Structure 1
């Protein structure tokens, strides 16, 4: 059980953190403008930095790469959720709390690297992100209520 839990925690950490700011399903994605604000897919998947920039991908390749990466993320999320459901509630809560603490520590460490001007901008961006997250949760709740009434 100990090895299984450790493996699950490791496997769940990356996609869980990555998905913390994104919707759980690509079927119910927010409007394109909400996702593209700031650095959109072109930046992350080919126009910005790292390996993708060095590959000099075409726009079509970047789009396909983004789609593949999104599908992979969704698949990892589904696998993680399937195993999460097998854990006792106390372990799920402990994992969620640990992930939250890790995310908060990372954000604090990132903020500490920034200049005062950058910190101000970072705080504004974080506030906007939280607002969008709350709006998205509200929309999902409304959608679930609407679907429940329709069935």
Structure 2
């Protein structure tokens, strides 16, 4: 019982650096408004990333990005495999614990910010929640549409 939960938590906590190196999938939600494009330097890894000191060629960056994207997809599949094996009570407990952890982090961040920054932070959080709800609605619509095609 603890091993699948531990594996799930480890898989969920793996570095998300791969996101920066992979092209966005076509069905991905739109980027957050606060995630601005910082120019082409970010894409070349000049400002960070685990491979910035390797001086990769464009072809190497593309190949590494592809490998990292596949790895991320595999991690997601592994996580879902163990998530589906968890009893409903454990799933709910895990979701509640993750939400409590996010809320704790958000309140800690708010404590660091000035009042003006807190207002902007709250606004961005609200926008994130709205996008998340819209994304869930889109996924439901897409599942219904795909289900109608197979029938």
What's the offset of the Cα at 1:102?
0.8
Q: Which has the larger radius of gyration?
A: 2
Give the structure with the higher percent helix: 1
What is the alpha-carbon distance in structure 1 between the residues aligned to residue 56 and residue 116 of structure 2? 34
What's the offset of the Cα at 1:45?
8.0
1:85/1:104 Cα in 2 relative to 1: closer, same or farther (>3 Å)?
same
1:28 is matched with 27
TM-score, scaled to structure 1: 0.69
Instruction: Verify the 8 A CA contact 1:45 1:52 in the aligned structure 2.
Output: no
1:73 is matched with 72
* Structure 2 unaligned spans of 5+: 17-24
Equivalenced residue count is 140
What is the alpha-carbon distance in structure 2 between the residues aligned to residue 35 and residue 69 of structure 1? 20
Equivalent position SS for 2:86: coil
User: 1:52-67 maps to which residues of 2 (within 5 A)?
Assistant: 67=66
1:54/1:87 Cα in 2 relative to 1: closer, same or farther (>3 Å)?
same
What's the offset of the Cα at 1:94?
1.0
Q: Which moved more, 1:126-135 or 1:37-46?
A: 37-46
1:144 aligns with 2:143: yes
What's the offset of the Cα at 1:74?
2.5
1:132 aligns with 2:128: no
2:9 is matched with 10
What is the alpha-carbon distance in structure 1 between the residues aligned to residue 123 and residue 70 of structure 2? 30
Q: Which moved more, 1:78-87 or 1:43-52?
A: 43-52
What is the alpha-carbon distance in structure 2 between the residues aligned to residue 113 and residue 89 of structure 1? 36
1:119 is matched with 118
* Structure 1 unaligned spans of 5+: 19-25
